[in-house]
Amino acid sequence: MLSDAEIAKMTAAERRALILRLERPLDEILSPRVLGRARWTRLGLMIGGAVGMIPWIVFLSLTLPADYEAHNWPATWVGFDLFMVILMASTAVLGLLRRQLMLLTAFATGVLLICDAWFDIMTAGPDDVWISVATAVFAELPLAVVLIAGTLRIVRLTAARLWLLDPGAPLWRLPLLP
């Protein structure tokens, strides 16, 4: 049995090695075959989707009209903003309860705020574009930065606390599963 003092004397590498020895092996929870199949299926979908989007984007850029009358315009924007409010409220509640799930809602809210700023500016009429730009610059984008940067900071702190990442190491070096 190790004492707190003995653990405190260990180096970061020794603590990580100890954690890896003590943690429950992932193959006890899920078979390696199932894990591998799920990983490669998801990777294949993302790679295929990214590659497949390239010709689609080229096609859209060549064929879409510059102006278009949109149907269900109020429902589209009200629905989008309602979804954003639900995510913001969920982020607030989960943050108050100090739940890890808040990371997902905060990141998603930040991404939606960026999308909202983009579409507000791109769909604004000539008389309204400056209002959309001001709203994006002074409200939506700063809030998105706070949410996304805060999420990444919490991931970094959690990873450092679990000895999965050295405090100065870049976040992209964090393994998905140790």
16-54 pLDDT per residue, tens = 888 878 877 766 777 888 878 988 998 899 999 999 999
Radius of gyration of the chain (CA): 23
Which tokens hold the place of 114? 């960026």
- pLDDT of the residue at 175: 79
Sign of the CA dihedral running 30, 34, 37, 41 = negative
Helices (H), the chain: 4-9, 12-22, 26-29, 32-63, 73-96, 102-123, 129-135, 141-161
Percent of the chain, pLDDT > 70?
97
How far, in Å, CA of 12 to CA of 42, rounded? 33
The tens digit of pLDDT for each residue in 137-174 reads 999 999 999 999 999 999 988 888 777 777 778 888 88
